[in-house]
């Protein structure tokens, strides 16, 4: 289950998935570090604000490409590195990543939106439907998600 990446505040491209009720148990685990009941409940209310939003679970956190990326699922974040392969024109994260016992494969499916800055035609941002396959501990999950470099 995708979990929100707890990384930096920088404006990095990210892959998002919809929040679902199955995410609730990971929100609870995240908030459990608060021993005071009111702090726990406040944390859970804030975490549950994602119900109408999406969860950014894959990003490079504005790091250099050779430093890898981060994928967050089931309440943990894993550092992964891109494997050699053919790049995609629009989706910088397309390809296969490995590390920390995890294999992530990102496959672009269709363009959702392209925005070109009128003052600089070379400055384009995209939102793209992608399929994300995560293999970890003998299990495989497939997630329909959105790559967004507009954030």
Separation in Å, CA 85 to CA 8, 37, 81, 123: 27, 49, 12, 25
Structural tokens at position 134 = 């995560």
Burial class (CB within 10 angstroms; exposed 0-12, middle 13-18, buried 19+) of 98: middle
Beta bridge partners of 73: 2, 76
Rounded CA-CA distance 150/29 in Å is: 30
Taking only the tens place, the pLDDT of each residue in 77-102 is 899 999 998 888 889 899 999 998 99
What pLDDT score was predicted for residue 55?
A: 79
What pLDDT score was predicted for residue 4?
A: 74
- Angle in degrees, 0-180, between the axes of helices 37-48 and 24-31, rounded to the nearest 10: 140
What pLDDT score was predicted for residue 98?
A: 96
Task: Print pLDDT tens along the chain (151 aa).
Answer: 677 776 666 777 888 887 766 666 767 777 777 788 888 887 777 666 655 677 788 888 877 777 889 998 887 889 999 999 888 888 989 999 999 899 999 999 999 988 888 888 777 788 899 999 999 999 999 999 999 887 5
Q: Do residues 95 and 82 lie in contact, with contact meaning Cβ atoms separated by under 8 Å? A: yes
What pLDDT score was predicted for residue 71?
A: 92
Taking only the tens place, the pLDDT of each residue in 14-24 is 888 877 666 66
Separation in Å, CA 59 to CA 10, 23, 36, 68, 132: 11, 19, 32, 9, 13
What pLDDT score was predicted for residue 136?
A: 95
Sign, Cα dihedral of 59, 61, 64, 70: negative
């Amino acid at each position: 289950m995708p979990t929100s990446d707890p990384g930096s505040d920088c404006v990095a491209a990210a892959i998002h998935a919809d929040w679902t009720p199955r995410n609730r148990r990971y929100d609870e685990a995240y908030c459990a570090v608060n021993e005071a009941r009111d702090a726990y409940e406040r944390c859970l209310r804030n975490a549950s604000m994602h119900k109408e939003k999406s969860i950014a679970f894959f990003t490079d956190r504005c790091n250099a490409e050779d430093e890898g990326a981060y994928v967050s699922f089931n309440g943990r974040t894993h550092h992964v590195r891109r494997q050699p392969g053919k790049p995609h024109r629009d989706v910088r994260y397309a390809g296969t990543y490995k590390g920390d016992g995890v294999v992530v494969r990102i496959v672009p499916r269709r363009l959702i939106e392209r925005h070109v800055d009128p003052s600089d035609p070379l400055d384009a941002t995209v939102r793209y439907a992608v399929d994300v396959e995560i293999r970890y501990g003998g299990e495989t999950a497939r997630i329909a998600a959105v790559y967004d470099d507009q954030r």
